[in-house]
Amino acid sequence: MISIRNLSKTFSTPKGDIQVLKDINLEVEKGDIFGIIGFSGAGKSTMIRCLNRLEEPTSGTVVIGDKNITDMNKDELREARKKIGIIFQDFNLFDSMTVYENVAFPLEISGYSKEKIKNRVGEILDLVDLNDKVDSYPAQLSGGQKQRVGIARALANKPDVLLSDEATSALDPQTTYSILELLRDINKKLNLTILLITHELDVVKYICNNMAVIEEGKIVEVGSTDSIFLNPKSDTAKKFVKIMRNLSINSHCPGGEVI
């Protein structure tokens, strides 16, 4: 489970303080695929980066499983992060490393033996269907393949939680759905809790069981994905649903763009 209590984040700038997150409270059950949706600037990325303290929260608590992430010192946090995988929009791969080396990197940092690393990398590349790319470099891969490497690397240390920070935003629709299918498969096989932030409503609708809506740094709506789609209450959710319905209508109109 992920438990977020009274989480706030303020950035100091030359023009004054900017409060990006305002008293966030949220619960994500173990094994769930949970989506957080909001427009650009709503605070989505800051929030997810606060969960593993890539950004330091100004106040509040984050508990993952039975561990209070916000109370940890540097050494404790380093250990805890091994169980919190994260994937990014821009893949964050090492261009000078092969697929094998990219996936092996976190295991090397964790002090695994070469034999254990070899076995674990082979196991994960099987899971993401990339064993035939083991000696390839990122420049030789498609966007979807790069994201699969990113997912494999995030899974290297057998995490309990996978955080997805706009991980499909740079991908075309067909590749997006192949990545979402992979995440769904991983969720089922590993009982992995997935927290996914996005501004793509169709992504949330396709994969998430439950969702929250963030607006100007606040959680304004929480519920099952179906209930929010059928009866949106917040302004942001209503706008997203309206946009999606209009796109769906246009895709079926003569001369309309097929989505």
Q: What is the pLDDT of residue 248?
A: 61
User: Does 117 reside within a domain?
Assistant: no
Say if 95 falls within a structural domain.
no
User: Which two structure tokens, joined as six digits, stand for 236?
Assistant: 């942001």
CATH number, domain of 50, equals 3.40.50.300
**Domain-embedded: residue 142:** no
Strands 67-68 and 16-28: unpaired
Amino acid 251: pLDDT: 52
Instruction: Determine the distance from the C-alpha atom of residue 58 to the mean position of all C-alpha atoms in its chain, rounded to a whole number.
Output: 22
Does residue 17 lie in a domain region?
A: yes
Whether 108 is in a domain gets the answer no
Domain membership of residue 46 as a residue range: 2-83+159-251
CA 213 to chain centre: 15
Within a domain: 137: no
Q: What does the pLDDT read at residue 253?
A: 44
In a domain, 110, yes or no: no
Between strands 210-215 and 33-37, the pairing is: parallel
* Mean pLDDT of each 10-residue bin along the chain, 259 residues long: 96 94 97 94 94 96 95 95 92 95 95 95 95 96 95 95 91 92 94 93 92 96 95 92 72 43
Q: In total, how many domains does the chain have?
A: 1
Place of tokens 């949330």: 204
Please report whether residue 93 resides in a domain.
no
